[in-house]
Amino acid sequence: MNFRTTYSAFLAVLGLCLISSCFMHREATYKKTKELMDTFVTVTVVSDSAEKGNEAIEKAFATIGKFGALVNFFSDESEVSNINRNAGVMPVKVSPETLEVIDKAVFVAAKSGGAFDPTIGPVMKLWDFHNNIKASADDIKKGLRLVDYRNIIIDREKSTVFLRHKGMMLDPGGIAKGYAADLAVKTLKEQGIRAGVVAAAGDIRTFGARPDGKPWNIGIKNPRPVKGSTNDILAVIGLGDKAISTSGDYERFFIEDGQRYHHILDPKTGYPAGGCRSVTIITGRGVFTDAFSTAVFVLGPEKGLKLAQDEEMEALIVDVNGKIFMTPGLKEKLKFEKND
Amino acid sequence: MKKTIRDTTVADRLLFVLLIAAAVAGLFISREAMSQSNDVIVEINGSPAYTFPLTTDRTFTVQGALWETVIEIKGRKVRIKEAHCPNRICVREGWVSKGAIICLPNRVVVVVGGTGRSGKDIDAVTG
């Protein structure tokens, strides 16, 4: 009798455990990709139901879409275009998101001594990396006169932005995707999602852990993958609550007379920055990884590494000769791939 | 029959209930596992670049190693619609609902209903 009671109790407990483990903690990852901000945005969430997961993903997409429309450099309807149209004319009232992203852009510009400059627009438009057209030295010289982040006047109280000189152009392209990833993560958390990944192209925000309890595995592209190899990943890093971005000379470029012309321009010279092949930055927010990866790229490996350390960020730099530089904290975290 | 039921102990009945519960749970588990393979994974240069649900019809363009490849998802099937390679083997493969379409020169692999050709445990790629 005693044995029977014990046996029954044991079975009952076992049954309850089985049922609860099946129905309560069935967490899985749900993933969707959408074309937003002129790129592909992939959102991954951990959720115990497909419905809840997918609903949260759609809300994150909506957040990115809404923000993307505000800061779209190429759309006449955007707040950024309105600022550019009114350059040298008058301050323009903008939404809090636009104000913050421009504020952060100016912050990174100042920290990097102008190595990152969101007013590079007038020089950037002289280059055509799609049709392999170099900018002329004369045009660059003229364009550079309009490039200076210190001529962006932000009034936080009135929520306005003003470009001091006519012809100036604010292009938040080097910071907006990272900030969009931050906004999307905020939306996901508001939807009760405890873990996920927002990847706006190469600007990635991670939070929480995967359903298997491990950190999210993020691959860092090899700027020069070995010819014939199927592996273009240089290294992999496990991330929890972090942001990671990479700037590379292989994204938009053309080669003329053996010289590589890529889209990361040095705001001081108006020509492609020469020191690096790729720069990866890791810190807490996407708005900073996005902009600082460009800044460190322009500064080159030595000065760039120092900036990263001063700002307490992790950095992985592949210099123009393929030599790897990194902040001390990264050495144990990175798993380098075999590239053969 | 009635005697058989009367002869069962409490433990027997519990075991019976447990077996039914396990069977029902199994149904849910397999359904969830199935939902994971409803993805179209596009790999470029050996690493997963994009993931799209197989359930939403769409046509999109990806930049491969050499040129652009146009991929179409329709009616839970995938095909490479346009490619610029000389043989266009990938285009000739037509619609696929399970397996992979590989465009070797352009280093584009489209995987349906699987975990990806490279099988690497990577959640996202920066760069």
pLDDT of A92 higher than 90: yes
Q: What pLDDT shows up at residue B114?
A: 56
Name the domain count of chain A.
2
Nearest to B78 by CA among B111, B108, B102, B104: B111
Is there a domain that residue A16 lies in?
A: no
Residue contact A31–B11, C-beta within 8 A: no
For the record, the structure tokens of A125 come out as 């438009």
Q: Which residues of A touch B44 (CB under 8 A)?
A: 232
* Cβ-defined contact of B123 to A15 (cutoff 8 Å): no
- Are A225 and A325 found together in one domain? yes
- Give the pLDDT confidence of A63-75 residue by residue, as tens digits: 999 999 999 999 9
Tokens of B71: 């991929």
If asked whether residues A123 and A221 sit together in one domain, one would say no
- pLDDT attached to residue A172: 95
Q: State the CATH number of the domain containing residue A273.
A: 3.10.520.10
Which of A313-317, A319-323, B35-39 has the weakest average pLDDT?
A: B35-39
Is residue A186 one of the residues assigned to a domain? no
- CA of A169 vs chain B CAs: smallest distance (Å): 26
C-alpha–C-alpha distance, residues A308 and A85, integer Å: 35
At residue B117, the pLDDT reads 38
Range of the domain at A235: 215-336
Task: Specify if A195 maps to a domain.
Answer: no
Output the domain CATH number for residue A108. 1.10.3980.10
Query: What's the burial of A303, exposed, middle or buried (CB within 10 Å: 0-12/13-18/19+)?
Result: middle
> Which of A294, A306, A222, A307 has its CA nearest to residue A262?
A294
A221 and A166 share a domain?
no
Secondary structure (3-state) at A77: coil
Instruction: Point out the least confidently predicted range of A8-22, A146-160, A298-312, B93-107.
Output: A8-22
Q: Do A230 and B39 touch (CB under 8 A)?
A: no
**Chain B residues closer than 8 Å to A42 by CB:** 50-51, 124
CA nearest A171: which of A216, A119, A134? A119
Residue A261 in any domain: the answer is yes
Helix (H) / strand (E) containing A244: strand A242-248
Q: How far apart are CA B113 and CA B90, in angstroms?
A: 18
Say yes or no: A223 and A293 in one domain: yes
- For residues A220-238, one letter each, b for 16 or more C-beta atoms within 10 angstroms of the residue's C-beta and e for the rest, the string is bbbbbbeeebebbbbbbbb
What pLDDT sits at residue A238? Answer: 97
Question: Would you give the distance in Å from CA B103 to the centre of its chain?
Answer: 19
Last residue of one domain, picked from the residues A140, A170, A200: A170
**A219 and A321 together in one domain:** yes
Provide φ and ψ at A179, rounded to 5°: -70, -35
Could you report the predicted ipTM of this complex, rounded to two decimals?
0.87
pLDDT digits (tens, 9 = 90+) for A177-205: 999 999 999 999 999 999 999 999 899 99
For B48-77, the pLDDT digits (tens) are 788 888 888 899 999 888 888 999 999 888
- Please check whether residues A85 and A150 belong to one and the same domain: yes
Which residues does A137 contact at the CB level (< 8 Å), separation at least 6?
none
**Res B107: pLDDT:** 85
A260 vs B25: which has the higher pLDDT: A260
Residue A183: helix, strand or coil by DSSP?
A: helix
Is A255 within 8 Å of chain B by CB?
no
Among residues A108, A136, A170, the one where a domain terminates is A170
Q: Based on the domain organization, do A220 and A156 belong to the same domain?
A: no
Of A279-288, A300-309, B29-38, B117-126, the range with the lowest mean pLDDT is B29-38
CB-nearest to B127 from A15, A202, A230 is A202
Q: Which of A110, A138, A170 is the last residue of a domain?
A: A170
pLDDT tens, N- to C-terminus, chain B (127 residues): 667 777 888 888 888 888 888 888 776 665 554 444 578 888 887 777 888 888 888 999 998 888 889 999 998 889 999 988 877 888 888 888 877 788 888 888 888 865 443 446 889 999 8
Do A219 and A330 have their domain in common? yes
Nearest to A204 among B36, B44, B124 (CB): B124
Binned at pLDDT 50, 70 and 90, residue A2 comes out as low
Q: What pLDDT was estimated at residue A63?
A: 98
Verify that A330 and A227 share a domain, yes or no: yes
Indicate if A258 and A152 belong to the same structural domain: no
Q: Which residue has the higher pLDDT, A229 or A240?
A: A240
User: Is the domain of A135 the same as that of A220?
Assistant: no
Query: What residues of chain B lie within 8 A of the CB of A225, using their CB?
Result: 45
Encoding tokens for residue A185? 């993560």
Assigned domain for A4 exists? no
Residue type for A264, please? I
Asked whether residue A230 falls in the same domain as residue A321, the answer is yes
Q: What is the interface size between A and B, counted as CB pairs within 8 Å?
A: 120
Would you tell me how many other CB atoms lie within 10 Å of the CB of residue A120?
27
In a domain, A181, yes or no: no
Is A217's CB within 8 Å of B122's CB?
yes
Distance CA A59, CA A68 (A): 14
pLDDT tens-place string over residues A17-51: 555 555 555 788 998 888 899 888 999 999 999 89
Determine, yes or no, domain membership for A113. yes
Q: Is residue A234 part of a domain?
A: yes
